[in-house]
Structure 1
Amino acid sequence: MKEYGLSNKKLFSLSRKTLEKRISSYYHKTNDGTATLEMLITLQVRQELCKADFSYVLRSLVQRIFLKTRSTAAMRRYYLYFIDYFGKEDWQLLSVKLFPAQTFISEKLEHLYSQVIGKPLTSIAES
């Protein structure tokens, strides 16, 4: 991982409050969502390795990056690490935003299934 103003050593040694301030200020200075997401994933790794609580670090910032900014390849790559940061409705919106082609195709397949397979099977079962 590249260093984005915070070295790996600092990411694994500073307190949660300090890291929240630094990561938040870094994002507001640079608007670099990719780097911010990478740092937050590093904190998720730290949580798994240590006893310190780093769950839902900067939840509102993560939601803003994913829901309010333009979709990027990094967002599509990292979105699964942040499932718990979103409610069910926001998660569906995010999936549609990040993967519009898949959403379109799945809707068409469901429609096709209901017309070609669903209705004929229903009429056979009723007779």
Structure 2
Amino acid sequence: MSEQPFTPYQIFNLKLETIEQRVMDFYEESRDGTTTIKLLIALRVRYQLGAEEFALVLKDLVKYLFTRTKATRTMKHFFFYFRDYFETSEWKQLNLRLFPVRNFIEKAKSIVLSPFAKFFPLEVSTT
């Protein structure tokens, strides 16, 4: 297991400007997208715990990682935590980019099931 670049104390106590600069420096030096995504998730936790200034921390870096780098397992795992960083159209494109097989299966199911929809409606009864 690789050594973490920041201690929990640093992640949860440094000022916004300081942590942003250090995370950017870490990524520029290491080009380790997986660890950077994990650090960004920790900063999302800090935001959820009440640090409002961390709402869209390092938005440009997040967009760069998800749109311009190779998709990794970590990216796919934490993708949905970054929903508010993207516009609707960007989100749809990223979803297609990161999960092409899932989208293909959903599209194929809808095409195959559409002729049968008039005979077997998929309605949920409320009784």
Q: Deviations over 1:16-70 (max 9, x none)?
A: 0111111011111111111111111111211222445101000111011011111
Q: In the alignment, residue 66 of structure 2 is paired with which amino acid? A: F
1:14 aligns with 2:14: yes
1:41 aligns with 2:41: yes
What CA distance in whole angstroms lies between the structure 2 residues aligned with 1:48 and 1:70?
A: 28
TM-score, normalised to structure 1, is 0.84
By percentage of residues, which structure has more helix? 1
How far 1:113 sits from its partner (Å)? Answer: 2.2
Aligned to 2:125: none
TM-score, normalised to structure 2, is 0.84
Aligned residue pair count: 121
Identity of aligned residues (%): 32
- Give the 4+ runs in structure 1 shifted more than 6 A: none
Q: Deviations over 1:59-109 (max 9, x none)?
A: 111011011111111011111110111111111111111111111111111
Structure 1 residue runs of 5 or longer lacking an equivalent are: 122-127
What CA distance in whole angstroms lies between the structure 1 residues aligned with 2:101 and 2:28?
A: 31
* RMSD (Å), alpha carbons: 2.2
Alignment of 1:95-114 (within 5 A): 95-114=95-114
